[in-house]
Structures are given as structure tokens and as C-alpha cells.
Amino acid sequence: MQRPPSRPPIPRGAKVLAAIELITGAMALVGGVLLAIRPDGSLLNANPAALRDSPFPDYRWPGILLAGLVGGGFLIVGLWVLRAGRAAAELSIVAGIGLVVFEVAERFWLGFQVLEVVFVLVGGAVIGLALRVMRSERSRP
């Protein structure tokens, strides 16, 4: 009986990229769910006054967006990277750009928060690592 060909080992850069995406996705999913189930922000000690000039009356929709777009998106892309799926690095770039755009939009909706800076840096790191993974994949024979 012939064994199916095994997948090549996942390069270290891709493992690091996937780990960042999975951790970020899990944090966003948990944070978003906590905001959605307690829209007053009390489970995360989020100040409801931050929503005053935003399009949101409470944290329910921001939580749903955070959980769905960032949480779900990053978890799916991180798993895809681990599977060495087709165009995984390109999807990681899209996810990184999406996170940066999400945080910039949040800045305009909610005002400045330190976590926005942290996650813009995470998005930038994902983009940079994904570009590095793409270059290493293209240089392999």
C-alpha cells in the first residue's frame, strides 16, 4: 500500500506568523464576545463614555465586529497558514491590513486607546512576517 506524500515541514517563519494570528484571533474573539454579551463594557472594564461620539449606543456591535472580523478572520487565516494552504501568506497580508484598518476606524469612533497602538503594531508585524514567508517560499526550489 502506497502512503500519500507527506507535506513538507512548515517553515519557522510561517509557524511564528500562525502563532501570532491564532493568539490575536483568540484574544479578539474572547474580547468581542465579552463585549457583545455585556454591552455596557463591564466585563472588560471598558468605559461606556468612549462611545459618546461613536455610531454605537453600546458595545454590542463593536464586540460583534471584533469577534467576527478580527477574531474569526485571524483564527481562520492562522489555521490556513499552519495547513500551508494556497495563498496563505497573501491572506495573512490581507488580515494584517484589515487589523490596521479596523484599529484606525476604532480610533476615529472611540478616540485614542493604547490597545489600538498595540494592535496596529501586531497588524504591521503580521504583514512583515507574511512578506518574509512569501519571499522564502519563492526562493525555495
Q: Give phi and psi for 94, each to the nearest 5.
A: -60, -45
Residue 48 in domain: no
Residue 84 in domain: yes
CA distance 51 to 58: 7
Residue 50 in domain: no
pLDDT, tens digit, 9 for 90 and up, residues 127-139: 999 999 999 888 7
Q: Give phi and psi for 52, each to the nearest 5.
A: -50, -50
Residue 41 in domain: no
CA distance 30 to 18: 18
Residue 87 in domain: yes
Residue 42 in domain: no
What is the 8-class DSSP label of residue 3? Answer: P
Tally the domains of the chain: 1
Higher pLDDT, 21 or 1: 21
Which domain covers residue 112, as residue numbers?
Answer: 12-36+55-139
Is pTM beyond 0.85? Reply is yes
pLDDT, tens digit, 9 for 90 and up, residues 42-61: 999 998 988 888 889 999 99
Residue 69 in domain: yes
pLDDT, tens digit, 9 for 90 and up, residues 65-88: 999 999 999 999 999 999 988 899
Residue 104 in domain: yes
